[in-house]
Amino acid sequence: MYVRLFAASWLLFCAVLAVLAWGFQAPFAYDPVGPRAYPLLLLSLMAAGSLWLLFKPGLLEQKFNTRAAVRATLCVLTLLAYALLFEVLGFVISTALAAFALGLLFTGRLIPCAISGVLMGVLLYGLFDYLLDVPLPLGLFGAFVES
């Protein structure tokens, strides 16, 4: 029951955000599809997932899993912290910390999660900044790069 209630509310949330995203306009044409394509694509995928959860058969027979709910809550809190610290700490450090925390959350071991978190932060920064020319915030990492 809780899953269907969540799915219905998330579907409504996606619809409200889609109405807001439909009005996105760029002051200049920098992309042939415009700035609304990416948010609308993500919202349509989330809405499809919500519809699947809403009409999935056998959902009422499932029991509430407290451990999975705690893990999902911690995952959402980790991603919220990532979004809030993205500008302050910069892309590399915030991505490394988020990847480390999510790795531990999904039963990873300490050392491999730390190594993969650092590698993910540095390599994704190199991919976005040098290959794709996407400017990313440097935050605390900027002191090491600019000197």
> Rounded mean pLDDT of the chain?
85
Distance CA 55, CA 64 (A): 18
Tokens of 91: 């892309």
- Contact criterion met (CB below 8 Å) for 138 and 91: yes
**pLDDT per position as a tens digit, 130-146:** 888 888 888 775 666 55
For residue 100, pLDDT beyond 90: yes
Question: 35: number of CA atoms within 13 Å, CB side?
Answer: 10
Distance CA 36, CA 25 (A): 7
